[in-house]
Structures are given as C-alpha cells and as structure tokens.
C-alpha cells in the first residue's frame, strides 16, 4: 500500500523556537547538493514571513551557510571584470580567439583584455554581456 508523501508544514505550523527549528532541520555545514536542497527548503518556508527573534536568528544562520556553499559551487557569481570574462569564456569552451571575433578586435588585444591589461569599451561590454548573459556592470574593472 502506497502512502501519500507528507506535505511540508505551512509557516503557521513551523516551530516558533530555535530548538524546535533545529529539531526539524539541524543547522550544520552544507557538504553536497542534498544538504543544500534541504537548507533551501527551510529557507523558503521561513523567508517572507514575520519572524520572531528565534526564527530570525535561525534563518540568518542557515542563510549564511547556504550562501557560503553556493559561493563555493558557483564562483562565476562573485567574479568581476576580467576574471568574470575568463570564467564565462571557459564555461562555454571559448577563449581569446572567440572573444576577438565577437568584438571585432585583434586576438592579441583580446589576450590583454583577459589579463586585465586593457579594458573593454562600452559597446564591447554590451556585446559580451548580451552574448554570455552577464551583468554589464560586473564586466567593469
């Protein structure tokens, strides 16, 4: 006989105390995607509601742990300037030659841009941001 999966408790049914929340989901370092998914589920349940002090403390700590894990998993999210451009190119299997073709410059200049020795122009930033789905402001040095 199959049983229906248990529904996640609504916010009103979540514990009001830190200890109660810890009993439901123990706060500990996030090591893998399963841990991250479980933490994200608790964050989603608490976020956007009027929290008491204990619920707020729990959410703050859990959010910090989740953010730390996410930053380690997705370095492109915190990269800026030439570093972001290098990561975006690498992610798509592109290099300086492809960048040079995209923005119509000499490959040697593209290498200098990737090393941070030269800067992209405003038009080049727009073209690169559109092509690679990046925030144009993050491409500024």
pLDDT tens-digit map of 32-52: 999 999 999 999 999 888 999
The CA distance from 106 to 57, in Å, is 54
User: What's the pLDDT band for 8 if we cut at 50, 70, 90?
Assistant: low
CATH no. of 77-139: 1.10.260.40
Q: Which pLDDT value is given to residue 91? A: 84
**Predicted model pTM:** 0.52
Structure tokens at 74: 């997705």
Q: Is residue 82 pLDDT above 60, yes or no?
A: yes
For the segment 89-129, what is each residue's pLDDT rounded down to a tens digit? 988 899 999 999 999 999 999 999 999 899 999 999 999 99
Question: Residue with structure tokens 């742990």?
Answer: 65
Question: Domain ranges in the chain?
Answer: 11-73, 77-139
């Amino acid at each position: 006989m199959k049983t229906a999966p248990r529904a996640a408790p609504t916010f009103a049914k979540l514990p009001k105390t830190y200890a109660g929340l810890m009993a439901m989901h123990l706060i500990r370092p996030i090591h893998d995607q399963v841990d991250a998914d479980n933490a994200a589920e608790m964050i989603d349940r608490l976020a956007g509601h009027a929290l008491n002090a204990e619920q707020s403390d729990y959410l703050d700590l859990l959010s910090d742990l989740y953010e730390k894990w996410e930053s380690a998993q997705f370095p492109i999210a915190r990269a800026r300037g030439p570093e972001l451009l290098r990561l975006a190119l690498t992610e798509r299997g592109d290099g300086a030659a492809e960048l040079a073709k995209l923005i119509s410059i000499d490959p040697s200049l593209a290498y200098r841009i990737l090393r941070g020795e030269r800067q992209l122009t405003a038009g080049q930033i727009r073209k690169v941001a559109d092509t690679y789905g990046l925030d144009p402001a993050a491409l500024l040095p």
